[in-house]
Structure 1
Amino acid sequence: MNPSPPLITADRVALQLAGRQLLRDISVELIQREIVTLIGPNGAGKTTLLRLLLGLTKPTSGTVWRQPGLRIGYMPQRLHIDNSMPMSVQRFLQMGQPGIKTTQAQAALDRVGAGQLLQASLANLSGGEMQRVLLARAASRKPQLLVLDEPTQGVDVGGQSELYQLIATLRDELGCGVLLVSHDLHLVMAATDRVLCLNQHICCHGHPEQVSKDPAYLALFGDTVAPYTHQHNHQHKLSGDIAGECNHSGTKSNGKNREQQ
C-alpha cells in the first residue's frame, strides 16, 4: 500500500462537447513513483483526458481532485518553433523559470544525455534532440508528477527505447509519478507499471502483459503485436548514428493496425 496520498484522483469523469460524448465514466488514480501509460487509438480521448486531469478542461460530470500545490512537469506532444526567432536551448529552459541558473540548465540537460546542447539554436535541433530538451525542461521543475504526451514523436525506434529507459530513471531520481501517453504498447511495456487502455472510456487496465492479452485491447489493436526486445550493447547518438551493435527482435504490428493508429 502506498503511504502517500494520491497525486490526482478522477472519479467517474465524463466530458461532452457540442452534443458529442468525448469521455465517459472514467476513474483514475495517480500515485508517486508509479509510471502509468495511457494508450488508445487516435480519437480515443487521450489528450482530452490529460487536459481534464491537469485542470485545463472541466468535466461535464464527475470530479477531479489534485493534491494541493502539486508540482507538474509537462512535456507536450509537439512544439512548433518559429525558425526566424533566435533562441538558444539555455534561454528556452529558463523561460517561465527565471530562477534557473546556467549551471542548473546545464545539469538538466546532462541528466537527459543532452549536455552539449546548452548553447545550440532551438530551431536547429533534430527530432530526438528536441524531445530530450523538452524532457529536460519538464524534469527541471522537480515535479511530483511528470506528464508526457507522446514523448517519442520524431524519434526512431532505437531512440524510443532509450528514451523510455531514461523516463524510468527520472522517475527513480525524482521520486515522482509519471503519466505517459502513447499509442504503442509494445515499446513501453518494459518501462511502465500500469496501463490504461482508453477508447472514450477505460476498456481495460492493469500490468502491460495483462492488458496486451485482454479482449478489449485485442479488439482495438489486433493480436499481431509481438513482444519487442531491444538489446542495448550499443549507444544511440543524438545525431541518430549508432555506436556498437544493435539487436532487435520481434515485430511491431501489422501495417493495418499501424495505419489505423
Structure 2
Amino acid sequence: MSDLVMTVNNLTVYREHYLAVRDVSFSLEAGTDTAIVGPNGAGKSTLVQALLGILPRKAGEIFILGQPLSRRGRLPSVVREQIAYLPQNFLFDRRIPITVEELVELGWESPGIRLPWLGGRQRFQQVRQALARVDGAHLRSHSISSLSGGEMKRVLLAYCLVRPRSLLILDEAPAGLDIQSESEFYQLLYQLKQEQGWAILQVSHDLEMVRRHCDRVLCLNRTLRCEGIPEVALSPENLVAAYGSDRTPYHHSHY
C-alpha cells in the first residue's frame, strides 16, 4: 500500500469571498479508505469539489497518479478516466427513457476517449459483469426512474466498475438510504475496494461507520484539525478540536 494515488499540498479554496478551505495537505495510498469528517459548513464538499477540479483553488497543488491538476481543473485523459465520483444526490430527469444497462454503459467512455481494443461484444460483457458484481444483473432492463435509492447506489457502483479505476470519491453517497440499505451499500463498497484495490476518499457524518471501516481520517473545519487512524483522529480531544465542545457528531448506534 505504498503507491500514492493523490497528493495535496497547502490547498486553499474560496467560495466567492469566503475562505472555505485553508492550507490543507494530505495524501492517499492505493487500497486505503480515507474519511473526511467535520461539522456542517466545515468545507468538506468544497474540498472534494476542488479535488475534482469543479471548484478553482486559490493556492496549493493537487497531484493525482503523479499528474498535476491544472488551475482549470484539467488532467490527462488517461488519469481522469481512473477517477470515479459518487455524489450525495444523483439528480436526473426521470422522464428520460434510459435503462440501467444503458446508464452503466455510459461509464465506458468519456468525450474524446475511446477504447478501440474492445468491441461491442466485449463492452456488452463488461457492462453485464459490472452489474453482476453489485448483485444488479436482474435490474439491467429496468428504467432508472423505477429504481429505489439502494438500487440506484448499486447501479452507480456498477458504472464505476465498468472500466478500471484507481480512485473513488464519495460525497455522503449513502445519504437518503434507510439503515439496512446503507449497511448493504457499505458492505458492497468495501468488498469492491478489496477486489479492485481502489483508494477511497469519502465524506461522512457517521463516525461509527468511519471507526468500523476506514483506514484513515481527516478531521476538517476549514483547515485540517487532525488526521490519522480512527483510534487517534476520533479521540474525544480531537473531536472537540474539529467540532467544538458544544456540538455532538452524528453516529448510527446499529454499527
Q: Report the TM-score, using the length of structure 1 for normalisation.
A: 0.79
Match of 1:202 among 193, 217, 224: 224
Partner of 2:94 in structure 1?
83
Q: CA separation in 2, counterparts of 1:216 and 1:124?
A: 43
Match of 2:180 among 158, 166, 182: 158
Q: Is the 8 A contact 1:165 1:191 kept in 2?
A: no
Match of 1:23 among 17, 21, 24: 21
Q: Is the 8 A contact 1:15 1:61 kept in 2?
A: yes
Task: State how 1:210-225 maps to structure 2 within 5 Å.
Answer: 210-218=232-240, 220=243, 222=247
Q: Is the 8 A contact 2:12 2:58 kept in 1?
A: yes
What are structure 2's unaligned runs of at least 5 residues?
A: 68-77, 110-119
Q: CA separation in 2, counterparts of 1:48 and 1:224?
A: 19
Q: Is the 8 A contact 1:12 1:62 kept in 2?
A: yes
Match of 2:105 among 85, 94, 97: 94
Match of 1:193 among 182, 205, 215: 215
Match of 1:14 among 12, 15, 22: 12
The AA in structure 2 aligned to 1:159 is: S
- Higher relative CO (Cα under 8 Å, sequence separation at least 6) belongs to 2
Please say which of residues 89-98 and 34-43 is displaced more in the overlay. Answer: 89-98
Q: Deviations over 1:26-77 (max 9, x none)?
A: 0010110010011122222112111222233332011111224431121122
User: For residues 163 and 54 of structure 1, do their structure 2 counterparts lie closer, same or farther at Cα, with a shift above 3 Å needed?
Assistant: same
Partner of 1:58 in structure 2?
56
User: For residues 96 and 223 of structure 1, do their structure 2 counterparts lie closer, same or farther at Cα, with a shift above 3 Å needed?
Assistant: closer
Partner of 1:104 in structure 2?
126
RMSD: 2.2
Q: Secondary structure at the match of 1:7?
A: strand
Q: CA separation in 2, counterparts of 1:55 and 1:18?
A: 16
Q: Secondary structure at the match of 1:189?
A: helix
Q: Secondary structure at the match of 2:93?
A: coil
Match of 1:43 among 37, 41, 44: 41
Q: CA separation in 2, counterparts of 1:78 and 1:227?
A: 20
Please say which of residues 117-126 and 214-223 is displaced more in the overlay. Answer: 214-223
Please say which of residues 206-215 and 32-41 is displaced more in the overlay. Answer: 206-215
How many angstroms does 1:92 deviate by?
0.7
Give the paired residue count.
Answer: 228
Partner of 2:154 in structure 1?
132
The AA in structure 1 aligned to 2:138 is: Q
Q: Is the 8 A contact 1:139 1:146 kept in 2?
A: no
Q: Secondary structure at the match of 1:78?
A: coil
The AA in structure 2 aligned to 1:46 is: K
Q: Report the TM-score, using the length of structure 2 for normalisation.
A: 0.81
How many angstroms does 1:196 deviate by?
0.8
What are structure 1's unaligned runs of at least 5 residues?
A: 231-261
Q: CA separation in 2, counterparts of 1:162 and 1:184?
A: 15
User: For residues 157 and 116 of structure 1, do their structure 2 counterparts lie closer, same or farther at Cα, with a shift above 3 Å needed?
Assistant: same
Q: Deviations over 1:92-151 (max 9, x none)?
A: 111252567332222112211222111111011111111111111123232111112212
Matching of residue 170 in structure 1 with residue 192 in structure 2:
yes
Q: CA separation in 1, counterparts of 2:107 and 2:181?
A: 28
Q: Is the 8 A contact 1:185 1:208 kept in 2?
A: no
The AA in structure 1 aligned to 2:103 is: F
Q: Deviations over 1:192-249 (max 9, x none)?
A: 101111111112222223233242413527468678454xxxxxxxxxxxxxxxxxxx
How many angstroms does 1:85 deviate by?
1.4
